[in-house]
């Protein structure tokens, strides 16, 4: 089967163009949305992601605010930076780049974010709203990667109603929140969340209409694990050295053999990553529109 590509790069570019127009309207009304980032340490991947977020902001007209702390920043240093961002009137919303260094209480940091400025939708209040408001329109920020995955499929007319979705990985940015979004009445999928303690992953994946692989284990989804026509969303990030260029490259969770059997496939890189970045901008623009009463 020749899988059609869920092109995250092209879709994100279209979304950014739409958002640029909405930001222009806000700016004409004297409102400039601002995105803040809090980065702790020198991890090259995290630095790349944060730099990318600020590049995106410049493209669509959102102002940038940066808090960069060294790898040996203490819990108190990080909490002080969170308080500065909570109080900064130029900051519409912000993110704390994850993962934080070992020894830092990440949950405590996430809980300190002003829920009204939580551009990642990872504060317990915003996750709680997802749990409570199954039928209503959600007017608080949504977690960016899950929102991006669903938007990517819906914009390509992938039908999710009544479909069986198997998610690999129970992390806070993807695995846990995506089940909440996919089971909302407006989407109506049935979700199985799997993890390292799951027994017989193979038989669960084999019956799935859609597989969202966010395990971070290269090729964990093999060809004989999936059925023909499956929709494959590759979220996992592992890094290895490209033998041809000698440079580090991202490799995903989905094997070439599994891709052969798919009806739709979201590549990695070039799929979910760019959508995550676009959804962060969408959250900030929506937050600014709501506070401007637009
Ligand atoms: N606070 C958060 N931290 C993290 C999140 C998040 O949503 N909020 N997600 C990831 C990192 N991430 C955004 O922060 C992110 C990951 C990947 C990409 C991306 O565009 N990737 C490219 C490939 C990049 C490469 O080759 O190295 C792609 O997929 O095409 C953007 C953002 C963890 N932390």
Each residue's pLDDT, cut to its tens digit, for the chain (294 residues) gives 789 999 999 999 999 999 999 999 999 999 999 999 999 999 999 999 999 999 999 999 999 999 999 999 999 999 999 999 999 999 999 999 999 999 999 999 999 999 999 999 999 999 999 999 988 888 999 999 999 999 999 999 999 999 999 999 999 999 999 999 999 999 999 999 999 999 999 999 999 999 999 999 999 999 999 999 999 999 999 999 999 999 989 999 999 999 999 999 999 999 999 999 999 999 999 999 999 987
Whether 169 and 212 share a structural domain:
yes
CB of residue 37 inside a 6 A radius of ligand 1: no
Kindly tell me the burial class for residue 71, based on how many C-beta atoms sit within 10 Å of its own C-beta (0-12, 13-18, 19 or more): exposed
Question: What are the structure tokens assigned to 198, written together?
Answer: 């799951």
Say what the pLDDT of residue 293 is: 87
274 lines ligand 1 (CB under 6 A): yes
In a domain, 16, yes or no: no
CA–CA gap between residue 268 and residue 131 (Å, rounded) = 29
Residue 246 annotated as lining a ligand binding site: no
Same domain for 244 and 185: yes
In-domain check, residue 284: yes
Q: How far apart are CA 134 and CA 136, in angstroms?
A: 6
Residue 250 in contact with ligand 1 by CB distance below 6 A: yes
C-alpha of residue 276 to centroid of ligand 1, in Å: 7
| Per-residue model confidence (pLDDT) at position 1 | 79
Claim to verify: residue 122 and residue 169 sit in the same structural domain: no
For residue 183, report the distance from its CA to the centre of ligand 1, in Å: 24
Q: Are residues 69 and 32 in the same domain?
A: yes
CATH number of residue 171's parent domain: 3.40.50.720
My answer on whether 236 and 287 are in the same domain is no
Q: Is position 19 within any domain?
A: no
CA–CA dist 74, 72 (Å, integer): 6
Q: Whose CA is nearest to atom 17 of ligand 1?
A: 273
Full residue range of the structural domain in which residue 210 is found? 144-271
Q: Residue 215 in contact with residue 236, Cβ under 8 Å?
A: yes
Integer Cα distance of 6 and 93 in angstroms: 29
Kindly state whether residues 152 and 189 are assigned to the same domain. Answer: yes
Would residue 56 count as lying in a domain?
A: yes
What CATH number should be reported for the domain holding residue 115? 3.40.50.10860
Active site residues: 53, 97, 120
Domain count, the chain: 2
Q: What's the pLDDT score for residue 104?
A: 98
Question: Are 262 and 155 in a shared domain?
Answer: yes
**Is 265 found in the same domain as 175?**
yes
Nearest Cα to 71, choosing from 49, 95, 44, 51? 44
Q: Is 237 flagged in the annotation as binding?
A: yes
Taking the centre of ligand 1 as the mean of its atom positions, its distance from the CA of residue 49, in whole angstroms, is 6
Whether 149 is in the pocket of ligand 1, judged by its Cβ within 6 Å, is: no
**CA dist., res. 176 & res. 218, Å (int):** 21
In 51-189 the beta strands, taken as DSSP E runs, fall at 63-69, 93-96, 164-168
Question: What pLDDT is attached to residue 121?
Answer: 97
Residues 109, 225: one domain? Answer: no
Closest residue CA from atom 14 of ligand 1: 49
Question: Which residues neighbour 267 within 8 Å (Cβ) at sequence distance 6 or greater?
Answer: 5, 6, 7, 8, 234, 252
Q: State ipTM.
A: 0.97
Regarding whether 67 and 172 lie in a shared domain, the answer is no
Whether 170 and 267 map to the same domain: the answer is: yes
| Nearest Cα to Cα of residue 252 among 265, 230, 269 | 269
- 58 assigned to some structural domain: yes
Please check whether residues 251 and 281 belong to one and the same domain: no
């Amino acid at each position: 089967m020749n899988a059609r590509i869920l092109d995250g790069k092209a879709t994100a570019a279209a979304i950014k163009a739409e958002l640029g127009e909405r930001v222009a309207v806000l700016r004409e009304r004297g409102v400039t949305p601002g995105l803040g980032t809090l980065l702790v340490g020198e991890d090259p991947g995290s630095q790349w992601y944060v730099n990318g977020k600020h590049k995106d902001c410049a493209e669509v007209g959102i102002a940038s605010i940066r808090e960069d702390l060294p790898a040996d920043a203490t819990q108190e240093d990080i909490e002080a930076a969170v308080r500065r961002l909570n109080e900064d009137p130029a900051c519409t919303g912000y993110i704390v780049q994850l993962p934080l260094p070992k020894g830092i209480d990440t949950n405590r940091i996430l809980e300190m974010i002003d829920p009204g400025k939580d551009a990642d939708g990872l504060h317990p209040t915003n996750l709680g709203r997802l749990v409570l408001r199954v039928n209503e329109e959600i007017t608080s920020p949504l977690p960016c990667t899950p929102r991006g995955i669903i938007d990517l499929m819906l914009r390509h007319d992938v039908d999710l109603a009544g479909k069986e979705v198997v998610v690999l990985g129970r992390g806070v940015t993807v695995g846990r929140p995506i089940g909440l979004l996919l089971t909302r009445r407006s989407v109506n999928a049935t979700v199985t969340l799997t993890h390292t303690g799951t027994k017989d992953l193979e038989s669960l994946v084999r019956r799935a209409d859609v597989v969202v692989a966010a395990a971070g284990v290269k090729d964990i989804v093999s060809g004989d694990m999936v059925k023909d026509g499956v929709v494959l969303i590759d979220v996992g990030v592992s890094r290895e050295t490209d033998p041809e260029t000698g440079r580090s490259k991202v490799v995903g969770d989905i094997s070439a053999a599994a891709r052969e059997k798919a009806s739709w496939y979201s590549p990695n890189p070039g799929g979910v990553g760019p959508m995550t970045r676009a959804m962060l901008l969408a959250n900030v623009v929506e937050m600014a529109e709501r506070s401007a009463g637009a």
